Amino acid sequence: MGPPQPRWQALFPSSFCVSTSPVRTLCLVAALMVVMATPCPKSCHCSERNGVVVQCVSRSLDQIPPDLPEDTVALLLSSNRISHIPNQAFKDLRRLKELDLSHNHIESIDAGAFLGVSEGLRSLDLSNNQLRSVPKEAFTKLRARIRLSNNPWHCECSLQEVLRELRLDPETVNEVSCHTSVQDEYAGRPVIQVLDSGINFCNFHHKTTDVAMFVTMFCWFAMVIAYVIYYVRHNQEDARRHMEYLKSLPSSSQITKDFDTASTVL
C-alpha cells in the first residue's frame, strides 16, 4: 500500500491532469491554491510534499504551535526553546511521519505526549535536549526510529526499561550516554555499552530498596530495644527507691517496745 495522495490529487486524478496541457496547468494552479489555503502556524513555513511540511526551525518557540494542519506529514521544530511536551500534543496529526524536536530545552515528556501518532510516526528526533528520564508509557506502540543522543540521561531501571522497547537510530546510539547513574562508575559511558556488558540497573534498584528496608527495620528494632532497656532501668530505679523507703520506716518490734515502755511509765 503506497503513501496517501495529496489532497489536490484526490480532487484531480492523475489521468485527468495529464490529458492536455491546459488541464495540467489548471491542476498545478489548483494544487497551489490548496497549499496556500492550508492554515499554517504563525512564524512557520508550510509547503507541500505528499502532505504538508511545517517548518518552524529557529523561531524562538517555547511550545508546540497550535492549529497545525491536519495533513501535516513532517513537523520540524528544531532549535527552539520548547521545554515540555504535553499530553496529546500531536493528536490530530494522523498523517505525521517525521517529527524533529532536536536542539530544544525539553526536560519532560508527558506519558500521553504521542497519543494518536505513535503508530504512524517513522522518525522522531529528541537529541540535544535536557532529558534525564522519560515515562515508559510515552513511547507505547511507537514504531519510529528515535534519536536520543546528547541528553543528560540518568541511568537507572526505568531508563533501561524504556530503551528496551525502542528502535534507536544506529548512527547515534553510542551518543546516548549516562550523564549520571545509580552507580557512579557508569557515568560518562554509552548506555548501550553498559547494558551490553551485562549490567542490569533494575538489580541495583532492587538492592537499593532491600537495603533501605533493612535499615528501616534495623532502626525500628533498635528503638524497641532502647525502649525496653529504658523501661527496665526506670523500673529498677523505682524499685530501689521503694525499698529504701520501706527500710526507712520503723520496724514493728520497735513500735511494740515503745508501746510497752509507755505502758510501764503510766
Over residues 130-189, the pLDDT tens digits come to: 999 999 899 988 999 999 999 999 999 999 999 988 999 999 999 999 999 998 899 999
Over range 188-209, report the average pLDDT.
Answer: 79
Edge-to-edge strand list for the sheet holding 45-48:
45-48, 52-55, 72-76, 98-100, 123-125, 145-147, 167-168
Residue 19: pLDDT band with limits 50, 70, 90: low
Over residues 29-55, the pLDDT tens digits come to: 444 454 445 589 988 999 999 999 999
- Write down the CATH number for the domain with range 39-199: 3.80.10.10
Domain ranges of the chain: 39-199, 202-245
Q: Which residue has better confidence, 1 or 161? A: 161
Nearest CA to 153 among 199, 114, 106, 120? 106
Over range 61-88, report the average pLDDT.
Answer: 96
User: What percent of the chain is modeled with pLDDT above 90?
Assistant: 53
Q: What is the pTM of this model?
A: 0.65
